[in-house]
Copies of this chain bind each other. A is one copy, B any other.
Amino acid sequence: MVATVATAAYLAIGNELLVGRTQEKNLQVLTKFLNPRGIRLVEARLISDRSREIRSAARTLSRRADVLFTSGGIGPTHDDITTAAVAAEFGCPLEISEEHFERMSKYYKERGESMTAPRLKMVRLPRGAEPIANPLTIAPGFRIDNVYVLAGVPQVFEAMLQTLALKIAGGSARLSETLYTILHESRFAEALQGIQERHPESEIGSYPRMQGERWKNAIVVSDTDALRLGAVVKDLRAMLKSLKS
């Protein structure tokens, strides 16, 4: 079944993200998945490994967008509580996934080891959830309702997303073009606003950066329609030319 969606939200779960120990990297991976599909990310949240917070954020964000992707907290240790929290929020008991139990038992049996409680934890999914396999680990992510619960380790997060590649469709991808200028934003802000008002369907943003002591501005325009985009770029070029002269 292919889900056709317009908007997505993202929830990154883990204390390590909020103390600055680990830099959140999955957001960039997710946008690379969403953008070409024309799916708009409406919000991203980073929260800690607390059940109440996970439940509340999962519920809120699953309502705020067509789909919600989460990352983190589905491993075997005591601080991995995402699966249990999401299951509780959606009122589903946890059940062993027979298919993944078999695969994991076999893996460990071949190594002379057995299925311990932490390993069982990784193959326990909310009842009714659809497992999300991946080529890197036996432990699956899962989808329940419109919530996709993925691993936090970036390589595994990305591998799980790829598993979903044919299952999630969007709309028209946004095209974008960027013009750079060293003019201060305050020099072109009024003209830029005029252009935005003449092209309300395009989205125009101005993003200053400091490089050493110098400012450099990126003016970014995006639109799903190439003709409209071209018209805005033409106006932007004319604006920058007139300001420089």
Binding site for B on A (CB under 8 A): 14-24, 27-28, 30-32, 35, 40-49, 53, 75-79, 116-119, 121-122, 136, 153-156, 174, 176, 185-186, 189-190, 192-193, 196, 203-210, 220, 222
Contacts and interface: CB of A to CB of B under 8 A. Distances in A.
A183 to B, nearest CB: 12
19 contacts: A14-B205, A17-B44, A18-B41, A18-B43, A19-B176, A19-B222, A20-B27, A24-B24, A43-B53, A76-B185, A77-B206, A116-B186, A116-B190, A117-B190, A118-B189, A118-B190, A153-B208, A154-B210, A156-B210
Contacts of A45: 43-46
Contacts of A14: 205, 207
Contacts of A53: 43
B117 A208 contact: no
A192 B78 contact: yes
Q: Give the oligomeric copy count.
A: 2
A220 B16 contact: yes
Nearest to A197: B78
A47 B41 contact: no
B42 A20 contact: no
A23 B210 CA distance: 15
A116 B220 CA distance: 23
A96 to B, nearest CB: 15
A153 B209 contact: yes
A77 B122 contact: no
Highest count of chain B CB atoms <10 Å: which of A20, A31, A186: A186
Given A20-B27, A44-B45, A116-B189, 15 more contacts: A15-B205, A16-B207, A18-B42, A19-B176, A20-B28, A42-B47, A42-B48, A43-B47, A49-B205, A76-B186, A77-B185, A77-B206, A78-B192, A118-B185, A136-B210
A119 B47 CA distance: 37
A28 B17 CA distance: 9
Nearest to A212: B155
Given A136-B210, A210-B153, A75 B185 contact: yes
Contacts of A153: 208-210
